[in-house]
Amino acid sequence: MTHRGQPRESFAELRKSPRERYADWRGDLPLPEHLVSKRRPLDPVRGAVLMLVLPFSALAAAVSPDGWPWWQRVLAFLAALVLSVYPTLLIIGYWRLWRHRTSGGPS
């Protein structure tokens, strides 16, 4: 027995996908695709703030005059570099998609 006296689920029940569990619970009604997704949708505002704050804070840590050893400064600089490349690639990708849609052909 588990929580509040309910019987423990079998291993086969635990191995079912969320879609199968929902179908069993609802009586085989199909589940909309956006509800089956295991990933949570991204919050664009939170993502933008994160991608703006993290690279600059890591870069500030890399060049700060505190008593950090050289290897910590190098790691902070590399983290800033990696974190700033991702939003840059996103911007370039969106720009290329926009240009492709507005030009009417391949770019």
Residue with tokens 């089956």: 36
Residue 41 has what DSSP assignment? P
Query: Do 28 and 55 share a domain, yes or no?
Result: no
pLDDT tens for each residue of 21-46: 666 655 555 556 666 556 666 677 77
The residue segments making up the domain with residue 50 are 44-103
CB atoms within 10 A of CB 19: 13
One domain, residues 14 and 48: no
Same domain flag for 62 and 81? yes
Both 49 and 99 in one domain: the answer is: yes
Say if residue 32 is in the same domain as residue 48.
Answer: no
pLDDT for 88-103, tens place per residue? 888 888 888 888 778 7
- State whether 50 and 27 are in the same domain: no
- The answer to whether 59 and 83 are in contact (CB under 8 A) is no
Does 54 lie in the same domain as 87?
yes
Q: Is the pTM of this model over 0.75?
A: no
Mean pLDDT of 61-76: 80
Q: Under a CB-based contact definition with an 8 Å cutoff, are residues 23 and 31 in contact?
A: yes
Structural domain total, the chain: 2
- 18: closest CA among 10, 30, 2? 30
Same domain, 56 and 94: yes
